[in-house]
């Protein structure tokens, strides 16, 4: 699989949304296209975020305040306050810009599929945007990699 490149398995063109897309519109786009996530792009097709079904589901999930203990004059949180703040933001967002993940890792079309598979496993992500000169040119998913492996085995 070392010689196989991302450009050979990526999907292009890519279904995308803009930061001002509503969460309801996003849900419709994902459902109609039977996909689980999309890149968020600006007017120049530069990736500014990623958004997925998981981000939408948080809007319907129970929000639990982090557990803490009080010791003397201090409060010690037993869970991540940052994760709570992130879930809170996503739970009440009405636009994609309010629920998307902004720290997006992207790959190039010339990277090896093996390197991208490793990156996905290390970062625990299901999809990665493929960019050239900062612009979105494709998307590669775990499913694309699984299909590539299956084709090589036959």
> Is 74's pLDDT higher than 80?
no
Look at residue 62 and tell me whether its pLDDT is greater than 60: no
Dihedral angle, C-alpha 129, 16, 37, 5, nearest 10 °: -30
CB 37 within 8 Å of CB 126: yes
In a domain, 120, yes or no: yes
CA distances from 51 to 16, 31, 46, 64, 115 (A): 10, 14, 15, 22, 23
Asked if residue 1 belongs to a domain, the reply is no
Residue 84 confidence (pLDDT): 55
Burial class (CB in 10 A: 0-12, 13-18, 19+), 57: exposed
* Other CB atoms within 10 Å distance of the CB of residue 81: 12
Average pLDDT over residues 69-92: 60
Q: Is 121 part of any domain? A: yes
pLDDT at 59 exceeding the cut of 60: no
Helical spans, DSSP H, in 79-141: 81-91, 96-99, 113-123
What is the predicted pLDDT for the residue at 57? 77
CATH of the domain at 106: 3.10.580.10
* The most confident of 48-52, 68-72, 73-77, by mean pLDDT: 48-52
- Residue 123 is assigned to a structural domain of this protein: yes
**pLDDT of res. 80:** 60
For the entire predicted model, the pTM comes to 0.76
**What residues have CB less than 8 Å from 132, skipping those under 6 apart?**
108, 109
Give percent helix, percent strand, percent coil of the chain, each to the nearest 5. Answer: 35, 25, 35
For residue 2, pLDDT over 70 is answered with no
Residue 94 lies in a domain: yes
Tally of structural domains, the chain: 1
pLDDT of 61 strictly over 50: no
Q: Whole domain around residue 79: which residue ranges?
A: 6-153
């Amino acid at each position: 699989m070392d010689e196989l490149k991302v450009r050979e398995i990526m999907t292009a063109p890519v279904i995308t949304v803009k930061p001002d897309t509503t969460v309801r519109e996003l849900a419709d786009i994902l459902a109609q296209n039977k996909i689980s996530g999309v890149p968020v792009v600006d007017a120049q097709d530069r990736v500014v975020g990623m958004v997925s079904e998981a981000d939408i589901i948080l809007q319907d999930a129970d929000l639990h305040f982090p557990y803490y203990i009080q010791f003397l004059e201090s409060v010690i949180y037993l869970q991540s306050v940052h994760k709570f703040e992130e879930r809170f933001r996503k739970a009440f967002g009405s636009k994609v810009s309010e629920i998307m993940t902004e720290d997006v890792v992207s790959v190039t079309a010339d990277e090896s599929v093996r390197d991208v598979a490793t990156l996905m496993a290390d970062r625990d992500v299901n999809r990665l945007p493929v960019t050239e000169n900062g612009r979105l040119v494709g998307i590669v998913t775990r499913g694309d990699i699984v299909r590539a492996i299956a084709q090589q085995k036959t």
